[in-house]
Amino acid sequence: MKNIFSIIILILAVLSIFAAQYCLSDYALRTFINISIFIILAVSYNLINGVTGQFSLEPNGFVAVGAYITALLLLDIEAKQDQFSLLDPHPFILSFHTDSFFIALLAGGFGALVLSLILSFAVFRVRGDYLAIVTLGFGIIIKLIALNFAAFTNGVQGLNEIPKPNNFLYIVGIITIISVVLILNIIYSKYGRAMKAVRDDEDAALAMGINTFRIKTLAFGTSAFLEGVAGGLLACYITSVTPEQFDFLFTFQLLIIIVLGGLGSTTGAIIGAILVIGGSEWLRFLDEPMNIFGYETKGLPGLRMLVFSIILILVMLFARRGIFGDKELSDIIFKRFKK
């Protein structure tokens, strides 16, 4: 029965992607794409933070790596020479090019993956708050590198006019579905059970013979790869990359998403991304002049964020473990069905 339910959800997800192209306005379509990219980020970040229980604050660093690698590969020599104004582009950067969008995207993901494997030897020597501090420092270092190595990244000016492939909506949608399916398959595999064991009690998991370092590295690397891919998609979606896009607030936004949805729940991460990213867009009318019972109000920039923050506070007050807790939608439905 669960397999049939999963197939139905998969079919509905594919149909929604094709329907979006014809049913949504340009603005709504851009919001749909943005939500899809953040779903990839949310489910991958939830794997290391929620499922494995490692308080990591690294996403902005891996997203930045994926975004810069993808952007530099897609920009041709002429574009780089025109854009690099602070310093001449390094000869390696000029030769760093491909016409294939998917090769560039995979390179961004693998770049983040390799970096995560290198970092894991230092990162997982500590736990808890210390782990958060180490990964936070990594994100800051990546931003500083992007700012100061202008021959490779164009510094504070960043990269612009990044090519976007045709049918970008379909590409983002399919990658989002693949990412969610991949994460769910990992969670329900023996590796996923080992990750949950590490989350619940790492010392007990170690005593039971689980190689906790390997399990944490697997979660860290998988999360980093998908974050790098999402970074490449984000760069093409915005068509520009700057260091300021990837400060700690980016990670904090993802943290809000997975906590709101429920740590450890992939369904919660998806719903959280829809509510946070979509909600901040859908409430934009609050910033504009309004007619309330015949009374004309002036535009109040920032009012939507105030209202949105109040909504988040109320949700967390009444659902302290998030909307889904650590459960998946299928678990909740079939539990009630059995009753």
Q: Give the tens place of pLDDT for each residue, 106-137.
A: 999 999 999 999 999 888 888 878 888 888 88
Q: What does pLDDT average to in each consecutive run of 10 residues of the chain (339 residues)?
A: 69 84 87 93 93 89 94 90 84 87 94 93 84 88 90 89 90 93 92 92 89 93 95 93 89 89 89 88 74 66 76 78 79 62
Which pLDDT score is estimated for 58? 83
CB 45 within 8 A of CB 53: no
Q: What is the CATH number of domain 2-338?
A: 1.10.3470
Give the SS3 label for residue 295. Answer: strand
Which pLDDT score is estimated for 121? 86
Q: Which of 132, 131, 151, 158 is nearest to 64 (CA)?
A: 158
Percent of the chain with pLDDT over 70: 93
CB 212 within 8 A of CB 205: yes
CB 328 within 8 A of CB 46: no
Name residues whose C-beta falls within 8 Å of residue 319's C-beta, 6 or more positions apart in sequence: none
User: 167 is written with which tokens?
Assistant: 């049918």
Residue 221 CA, distance from chain mean position: 14
Q: Where are the domains of the chain?
A: 2-338
Helices (H), 24-100: 26-46, 59-74, 77-83, 91-95
Angle between helices 2-23 and 26-46 (to 10 degrees): 150
As to burial, measured by CB atoms within 10 angstroms (0-12 exposed, 13-18 middle, 19+ buried), residue 192 is buried
Give the C-alpha separation, 185 to 197, whole Å: 17
Q: Which of 172, 155, 158 is nearest to 232 (CA)?
A: 172
Which pLDDT score is estimated for 247? 87
The reported pTM is 0.91
